[in-house]
Amino acid sequence: MFSIHRPPGPARVAGAAAAAAATLALTACGSSGGDDGTLTILVDNTEATVDSVQALADAYTAANPDTEIDLELRPGGSEGDNIVKTRLQTGDMPDLFFYNSGSLLQALAPEQNLVDLSGEPFMDAVAETFQEGVRSDDRVFGVPVGNAVGGGVLYNLPAYEDLGLEVPRTWDEFTANNQAILDAGDAAPVIQTYGPDSTWTSQLFVLADNYNVLAAEPDFAERYTANEAHYADTPAAMAGFEHLQEVNEAGFLNEDFASASYADGLAALASGEGVHYPMLTNAITELRATDPDALDDIGFFALPGEDPDDVGVTTWLPGALYLPQTTDDQAAAEDFLAFAASVEGCDAQTEAVGVTGPYFIDGCTIPEDVPPGVAQLQEYFDAGLTAPALEFLSPVKGPALEQITVEVGSGIRSAEDAAALYDEDVKKQAQQLGLEGW
Residue 71, H or E segment: strand 68-74
**Could you report the per-residue pLDDT of 385-426, keeping only the tens digit for each?**
999 999 989 989 888 999 999 999 999 999 999 999 999 999
Task: Say whether both 400 and 428 belong to one domain.
Answer: yes
> Nearest to residue 318, comparing CAs of 278, 347, 345, 280?
280
Judge whether 323 lies within some domain: yes
Task: Say whether both 51 and 67 belong to one domain.
Answer: yes
Judge whether 371 lies within some domain: no
> Nearest to residue 252, comparing CAs of 304, 175, 311?
175
Choosing from 306, 331, 365, the residue where a domain stops is 365
Task: Say whether both 324 and 343 belong to one domain.
Answer: yes
Question: Above 90 in pLDDT, residue 146?
Answer: yes
Task: Say whether both 61 and 182 belong to one domain.
Answer: no
Task: Say whether both 58 and 90 belong to one domain.
Answer: yes
Least confident span in 108-112, 128-132, 247-251, 255-259: 128-132
Residues 6+ apart with CB under 8 A from 160: 166, 167, 275, 299
Task: Say whether both 300 and 425 belong to one domain.
Answer: yes
Residues 6+ apart with CB under 8 A from 403: 78, 199
> Nearest to residue 118, comparing CAs of 329, 337, 318, 328?
337
pLDDT recorded at residue 356: 84
Question: Above 60 in pLDDT, residue 327?
Answer: yes
Task: Say whether both 420 and 326 belong to one domain.
Answer: no
> Nearest to residue 77, comparing CAs of 190, 163, 198, 179?
198
Task: Say whether both 243 and 391 belong to one domain.
Answer: yes
Task: Say whether both 172 and 255 belong to one domain.
Answer: yes
Q: Distance from CA of residue 222 to its chain's centroid?
A: 23
Judge whether 1 lies within some domain: no
Residues 6+ apart with CB under 8 A from 376: 299, 300, 301
* 343: CATH: 3.40.190.10
Judge whether 224 lies within some domain: yes
- Domain tally for the chain? 2
Task: Supply φ then ψ for residue 276, to 5 degrees.
Answer: -115, 135
Task: Say whether both 22 and 81 belong to one domain.
Answer: yes
User: Which of the two residues, 78 and 220, has the higher pLDDT score?
Assistant: 220
Judge whether 4 lies within some domain: no
Residue 279, H or E segment: strand 274-280
> Nearest to residue 119, comparing CAs of 130, 109, 131?
131
**Could you report the per-residue pLDDT of 160-191, keeping only the tens digit for each?**
999 999 999 999 999 999 999 999 999 999 99
Least confident span in 29-43, 95-109, 191-205: 29-43
Owning domain of residue 338: 11-147+317-365
Residue 56, H or E segment: helix 47-61
Whole-angstrom Cα Rg for the chain: 21
Least confident span in 84-88, 342-346, 347-351, 427-431: 427-431
